[in-house]
Amino acid sequence: MNSQPFAPPSCGRIVNAVLAAVLSAFFIPHAQATSLLANGNFEQLKQPGVSSQFGLYYASQEVNSWSTSGYNFVFTPGTADTTGAAGEYGQIYLWGPQNGASNGLTTSPLGGNFLGFDSGSHQGAVTQTIKGLIVGNDYSVSFYWAAAQQHGYNGTTSDHFTVSLGAQSDITSTVSIPSHGFSGWQYDSVVFKATSSSEVLSFLASGTPSGVPPFALLDGVSMAQIPEPASWALLVLGIFIAAGTFAYSRRRSVR
């Protein structure tokens, strides 16, 4: 019987195997968590390409996976200060470069649709039920938002969002803008601890004063599970093990 000498695995193969196991255990569960929230960019509509009010009081338009009973609108790219958005009380426009205000109003940072909330009257949250949460785990909700004003009105306005997951709420900073202004888009993030496997995520805009309609804008909503400290420790430990294995194998090779 012919026998072959045993060839130990190379140090590179050992390192790769260790890192693959650690990275799989660390990243796969957290990558899956990002899929809990649907249509966070508001691109999927019942009537694609149509800017209008949506929800309970304007059922001809829907933003898939989201619900609202407020005076809230979806604006498709380039329409906010041009053709506007249809609503139950008529066409709505925002002040912008195309209708007399050089305020820098732009499409969203993602370049697509965004939501506009009348934050001074007929307020109502935009909501989505999130399923598959793990009770006790922390989740980060991130989003882009901005402050604007309805066209045809004058005066300084202010806006902020209340973001909620179930019974927990967090409030963004309050942004004030001059008459016909636009704040520019900003990125924000809040953290919640899941208390149930299924909870309602909501965004409620509030602004002042009610007679000069302040509008709060929203886009790019995402939700991800925050890695637990034990997971970070596992990742660091795996890297040290891989580095130690590599160094030990190289020393043996030299001998």
Average pLDDT over residues 110-132: 96
Run of H or E including 11: helix 11-33
Average pLDDT over residues 42-49: 98
- Three-state SS across 80-149? CCCCCEECCCCCECECCHHHCCCCCCCCCCCCCCEEEEECCCCCCCEEEEEECCCCCCEEEEEEEEEEEE
What's the pLDDT score for residue 83? 98
Asked whether residue 19 carries a pLDDT value surpassing 70, the answer given is no
Please tell me the pTM assigned to this model.
Answer: 0.79
Q: Are 161 and 171 in contact (CB under 8 A)?
A: yes
Asked whether residue 30 carries a pLDDT value surpassing 90, the answer given is no
What's the pLDDT score for residue 189? 97
Nearest Cα neighbor of 104 from 181, 207, 159 is 181
Asked whether residue 65 carries a pLDDT value surpassing 80, the answer given is yes
pLDDT, greater one: 242 or 110: 110
What's the pLDDT score for residue 107? 87
What's the pLDDT score for residue 230? 46
What's the pLDDT score for residue 229? 56
Asked whether residue 7 carries a pLDDT value surpassing 60, the answer given is no
